[in-house]
Amino acid sequence: MEWSGAVSLGAMTQRITRDEVVHVARLARLSLSDAEIDEFTGQLGDILEHAADIEALDVGDVEPTSHPLPMVNVLRPDELRPALDRDLLLSQAPAAEDGQFRVPPILGEEP
Amino acid sequence: MSALDLASAVRSGERSAVDVIDEHLARIEARDSEINAFNLVTADAAREAAAAVDAAVAAGKDPGPLAGVPIAIKDNMCTTGVATTCSSKILEGWEPPYDATVVQRVAAAGAVMVGKTNLDEFAMGSSTENSAFGPTKNPLDTSRVPGGSSGGSAAAVAADFASLSLGSDTGGSIRQPAAFCGLVGMKPTYGAVSRYGLIAFGSSLDQIGPFSKTVAESAALLEAIGGHDPLDSTSIDQPAFDLTSVLDRGVEGMRIGILRELSGGEGGVEGVSADVIARTNEAAAALEKAGAIVVEVSVPSATLGLSAYYLVAPAEASSNLSRFDGVRYGLRVDASTTGEMMTATRTAGFGPEVKRRIMLGTYALSAGYYDAFYGKALKVRTMMLQEFASVYAEVDLLLTPTAPTTAFQLGDRTANPMTMYVNDVCTIPSNLIGHPAISVPFGVGDDGLPVGVQLLGPALSEPTIYQAATALEAAASGEGSLS
């Protein structure tokens, strides 16, 4: 599917289009019904409308903060230590085989 | 009986921990079908753990500072072999192979887990109505919500199902339900409590903290769960706070600022109701009477918190929740290819609010919109950090309402997401900047339901916050006896 990509939001009356909602759902691996697409188009538009105060802000020189407190990388000695048991972890999987997680075919064909 | 009195009675052998637990289990049995605080009650394990506490006391061993105290754990914290659901269908049948660090620490302190509490699915919500297992009701008025997302943990303490509980707070999810249920709720400094084993929502915002009826109990629980954990790389490398020894130091000479933008002041956030503003001003007057110096201060960027949060938190959530794909744990809806299986699983497993936030976050991070939304929201965090830092050069702590209103009616705000989101307007700034904040009950609103006021401080100011919270609590109980 072709997607139109970025458009000038300021000029838009509709904050997010139906097609964009469909595109985002595909990225997020969610399947939406027509009614849900309509509902989300309206609701996400309302939320983005509220965020217009941020969108309009002039923050050119401000550095972004992705973490609230200044922290440096945490390192530890590269030593072997016990990990969780593989069989225990696989026992929680929906399907497992030969010590591995089992999934349906990846490319749409039976192996 | 407070958790501290219970613990000392159990420690001295005056009361048996098993009896204490049985008493609480009986209360749960009698009333939780109405309240729905718990997703799971771990009665047998609780009796066993209580028996071990009693055995330790009998053997002359130290059973820990919270010996025999019943505690409820929010169902987004991992418990070995005990279902952990995040109140989502997508984790159906999953039993974690390890404990969250906080779960181990409360057990090491002698506390006894009685169950896992309901929440808004993946902690996304402000009313505990977004749960796959039905809403939790406010024990003070069952037509009202308990707040959220940690509504089950708040209701469990308010209904005396447990003396203490743990919640998690990403945008107010401990403090707002504490306010709605008349409890003390604390969000510690980011990194002060380990997040290991807390199922992530917004990793740069999430923090675990205590619910309790009193400030002293809150301090004792935070002491038990705090301190460095090598299993959490964002854990601050310092020991747990010493809080209980500073509680009674008072507020003489302490400088406290009423944060205008969040307290109904001009140019601030809208929708804070008059009764809540009145209680906040009375709290300020009470602190002044107790010797604090109260001034009005301004943090203009605080009004941008809500917008910044509803970009940052969904963005982080959309990334964190990508791990729920039907491959390694929980629900799988079969389909002919792995891609279709993942889509079918996520579509069936997530509820509407979680889908909405995943969609919003995916959009905010997508090509063409990253700079306009997510990138700018991160810059707003910097502006807030700078403005709060300059205010804290003038004052020690800030005072605001915790939530704009008292507990609202069930179903009142589910139709329009924005009406739900504005609940967090006063609590969000502390998460965006990683600072600690506590909600303390202070009187009631026009509807007779509790009002919470919030004390905010700079990073690692927990001792000062607890000192002021103790003074506020004393003043509130004084007010109560007058009315």
* ipTM reported for the complex, 2 dp: 0.92
Cβ B328–A93 below 8 Å, yes or no? yes
Domain assignment present for A104: no
The yes-or-no verdict on residue A6 having pLDDT over 50 is no
Cβ B363–A9 below 8 Å, yes or no? no
CA distance linking residue B190 with residue A68, whole number of Å: 8
Report the residue from B191, B341, B347 with minimal CB separation from A104. Answer: B341
Cite the active site residues of B.
Answer: 74, 149, 173
User: How many Cβ atoms from other residues are within 10 Å of residue A77's Cβ?
Assistant: 5
Element housing B321 (H / E): none
Percent of chain B with pLDDT over 70: 99
Residues of A in contact with B332 (CB under 8 A): 94-95
Chain B: nearest CA to A41, how far in angstroms? 10
The yes-or-no verdict on residue B143 having pLDDT over 70 is yes
Domain assignment present for A37: yes
Cβ A7–B459 below 8 Å, yes or no? no
Residue B119 · residue B86 · CB < 8 Å: yes
CATH 3.90.1300.10 fits B255-303+381-478, yes or no: yes
CA distance linking residue B179 with residue B187, whole number of Å: 13
Residue written as token pair 């699983």: B345
Domain assignment present for A81: no
Total count of domains within chain A: 1
CA distance linking residue A5 with residue B332, whole number of Å: 32
Chain B: nearest CA to A110, how far in angstroms? 9
The sign of the torsion formed by the CA atoms of B289, B290, B296, B300 equals negative
Q: Could you tell me which residue, A110 or B22, shows the higher pLDDT? A: B22
CATH 3.90.1300.10 fits B3-225, yes or no: yes
Mean pLDDT of B19-26: 98
- CA-nearest residue to A88 within chain B is B97
Check if A69 contacts B (Cβ < 8 Å): yes
Question: Which residues of chain B from 380 to 409 reach within 8 Å of chain A, CB to CB?
Answer: 380-383, 385
- CA-nearest residue to A55 within chain B is B372
pLDDT at A66: 83
Domain assignment present for A82: no
Cβ A28–B326 below 8 Å, yes or no? no
The residue among B324, B376, B428, B431 with the most chain A CBs within 10 A of its CB, best to mutate, is B376
pLDDT at B252: 97
Question: Which residues of chain B from 444 to 473 reach within 8 Å of chain A, CB to CB?
Answer: 459
Do B3-225 and B255-303+381-478 have matching folds?
A: yes
In 3D space, the residue among B337, B398, B138 whose CA is nearest the CA of residue A104 turns out to be: B337
The amino acid sitting at A53 is: D
The yes-or-no verdict on residue B462 having pLDDT over 70 is yes
Mean pLDDT of chain B: 96
No. of helices (H) and no. of strands (E), chain A: 4, 2
Cβ A104–B329 below 8 Å, yes or no? no
Phi and psi, residue B421, nearest 5°: -60, -35
Domain assignment present for A41: yes
Mean pLDDT of B153-161: 98
- CA angle (B253, B259, B261) in 5-degree steps: 170
Chain B: nearest CA to A45, how far in angstroms? 10
pLDDT in tens, B121-130: 999 999 999 9
Q: Could you tell me which residue, B3 or A52, shows the higher pLDDT? A: B3
Residue B200 · residue B106 · CB < 8 Å: no
The yes-or-no verdict on residue A109 having pLDDT over 60 is no
Which CATH number do you get for residue A49?
1.10.20.60
DSSP state of B295: E
Cβ B368–A6 below 8 Å, yes or no? yes
Reported as a pLDDT band with limits 50, 70 and 90, residue A13 is low
Domain of A47 in residue numbering reads as: 9-55
Chain B: nearest CA to A54, how far in angstroms? 7
Segments making up each domain of chain B, as ranges: 3-225, 255-303+381-478, 308-371
Domain assignment present for A47: yes
Percent of chain B with pLDDT over 90: 94
pLDDT at B479: 54
